[in-house]
Copies of this chain bind each other. A is one copy, B any other.
């Protein structure tokens, strides 16, 4: 098959990092922006994000979450009130100091996250227990200046949703933070076909300003983990600092309890590093901007043009379908559809049409099936489900074969350096201990899973008796 483009793509087993860059650029997802670490989402890349937004937003709305928009800029003085929070973000916050040539009276921070502004907003909108719970979300851009950037995974500006809620009791807030993690887990599984390990962050890895951080961790093809969504139980940290109060049913005054939760455009990075291969992008059907590409073997044959249009018509109620009727060569069109990770291809050619069939193939296994014209809709409907199942199964296998246990730091160190993956270890949970592990292995804990065997064992690093187990591993 003539395939000039593919020849330029690095193999993922040879150089995973270079392969990743090849995929994101050759699949036309992004290009680099003029400011360091920024990224232009091209139509195909933004299309994936649009589908993530649309579908995840529906799940939020089912939980009575309402969308809002809070300002981009936060006055420095306001931000500095919550000490842990500012400490965590200060080194990477972009600061506006001027308008035109004029110095501003006060520095303004570009939001790295919006707990601070939401706190102000909640303060103004919560008086009584009747105002609670209050559940808001926004789909916005945020900025965190990063030293080492990679498309989608770590960029100075990224797109995300940040949800913020307030509740009258700690139980309700904590429960809501957990519920949102379940929403993320379900979404990762069903839409992105990402198997994830849900759990709790250790104290060291906790969000600055949170009492507890829940996370879903996914595992990339190369055995490295990727934090794919977090949900924080904030307790009354922000309520106290920003003076948010409500009158309870007994007319007493209390601080409400908060949560915040978010997923970002790095989910697209997770998709790529989980499903894609040496031929380019492989997209789960639910977030594929084009699910079915109809490729005409000739674009000047009347019957081919007609059948293509008819097929598109038949499929478009249920699927996102496109005809490639360009005058590029057939081989080039196939390559393009492959590189872009379009789940199903329908080839419409003269020989097949003589037999009343078209040839359908799936992006992942490339098996070709000849399908009668009047059976195309049925076939596509079934095959797209099978395709998604195959992707999810492969990803689950990858997670399973990269999940290990270790009992000592030596065992862990040797393991992580030879067989990358997630290592379940007995862990004391102390910040200092984790810092030692990090110093020695350059790896972090990923999470304390929700379910594990709680038998008492010595911490894998310091030997202190513990009933906690945590996953450690290298991460993006």
Contact = CB atoms under 8 A, between A and B. Distances in A.
Interface of A: 31, 33-35, 38-43, 46-47, 49-50, 66-75, 78, 90-100, 107-108, 110, 117, 120-121, 124-125, 136, 140-141, 143, 145, 157, 159
B120 A71 contact: no
23 contacts: A31-B121, A33-B117, A34-B71, A34-B75, A34-B117, A35-B74, A39-B71, A41-B68, A42-B125, A43-B66, A46-B68, A72-B72, A72-B110, A72-B141, A73-B143, A90-B100, A93-B99, A93-B100, A94-B96, A94-B98, A95-B97, A96-B110, A98-B107
Contacts of A41: 68-70
B93 A96 contact: no
B40 A157 contact: no
A92 to B, nearest CB: 7
B93 A67 contact: no
B94 A68 contact: no
Given A72-B143, A136-B43, A141-B140, A108 B67 contact: no
Contacts of A98: 94-95, 97, 107
Contacts of A95: 96-100
A74 B73 CA distance: 16
B38 A71 contact: yes
Contacts of A34: 71, 74-75, 78, 117, 120
A143 B67 CA distance: 21
Contacts of A33: 70-71, 117
Contacts of A74: 34-35
Contacts of A97: 95-98
A258 B67 CA distance: 34
Most chain B C-beta atoms within 10 Å of own C-beta, residue among A96, A107, A125: A96
Most chain B C-beta atoms within 10 Å of own C-beta, residue among A31, A94, A117, A121: A94
B43 A145 contact: no
Contacts of A108: 35, 94
A75 B74 CA distance: 21
Nearest to A44: B66
The complex is assembled from copies of this chain, and their number is 2
B145 A99 contact: yes
A107 B312 CA distance: 50
A154 to B, nearest CB: 15
A159 B78 CA distance: 23
A70 B121 CA distance: 28
Nearest to A104: B94
A50 B67 contact: yes
B120 A72 contact: no
B71 A40 contact: yes
A144 to B, nearest CB: 10
A28 to B, nearest CB: 9
Contacts of A39: 71
A74 B157 CA distance: 12
Contacts of A91: 99-100
Given A31-B121, A136-B43, A92 B96 contact: no
A69 B96 contact: no
B141 A75 contact: no
Nearest to A289: B66
A169 B429 CA distance: 66
Nearest to A77: B34
Contacts of A100: 90-93, 95, 145
A70 B120 CA distance: 29
Contact of A121 (B40, B73, B140): B40
A50 B54 CA distance: 12
A120 to B, nearest CB: 6
Given A40-B68, A73-B94, A96-B96, 15 more contacts: A38-B71, A41-B68, A41-B69, A41-B70, A42-B68, A42-B125, A43-B136, A49-B69, A72-B141, A91-B100, A94-B96, A95-B97, A97-B98, A110-B110, A141-B141
A111 B89 CA distance: 23
A140 B31 CA distance: 18
Contacts of A72: 38, 72, 110, 141, 143, 157
Contacts of A124: 31
A35 B71 contact: yes
A149 B35 CA distance: 30
A36 to B, nearest CB: 9
Contacts of A50: 67
